[in-house]
Amino acid sequence: MSKILTIDDSALSRRMIRTILEDGGHTVVEAGNGLSGIERFSIEKPDLTLLDLTMPEMTGFDVLDKLLKVDPEAKVVVVSADIQQSSREMVKTGGAKGFINKPFVADDVLQTVGQVLKGGQG
């Protein structure tokens, strides 16, 4: 199906999202921080990127900005335990196509990923 890059400093979160996405038929590549995520994005050219907001050194907001400078058409979905409406609005204003809450619910993840891959909002 699709190649999805997940950028998250939590190995547990990456493992959980990998399982959900691979069970849904997707190929997953991973990065453990913002800088390596930007590098992987440039090399792998994923169909979609899942991006954690809270990471050391480079926040998800910073990574989102840089990914969209590399590719203004990039499909990025923010993944976070931050449930504040203001955070959701900031990432959507910043160019994210969707938002997935942690902890993950497999059906919600696959539904959002599917919507965004089809060109919608998640």
Q: What is the pLDDT of residue 86?
A: 81
Report d(CA 23, CA 87) in Å as an integer: 29
Q: What is the pLDDT of residue 122?
A: 76
Q: Please report the domains of the chain, with CATH numbers, ordered by start residue.
A: 3-117 (3.40.50.2300)
Please compute the mean of the pLDDT values over residues 113-121 and round it to a whole number: 93
Do the beta carbons of residue 96 and residue 120 sit within 8 Å?
Answer: no
User: Where does the pLDDT of residue 113 fall: very low under 50, low under 70, confident under 90, or very high at 90 and above?
Assistant: very high
Report d(CA 109, CA 94) in Å as an integer: 21
Residues 40-88: tens digit of each pLDDT: 999 999 999 999 999 988 999 999 999 999 999 999 999 988 777 887 8
How many alpha carbons fall within 13 Å on the CB side of residue 77?
29
Q: What is the pLDDT of residue 81?
A: 86
> C-alpha 109: how far from its chain's center?
11
Tell me the average pLDDT of the chain: 94
Residue 101, both tokens:
């809450």
CA-based end-to-end distance of the chain: 18
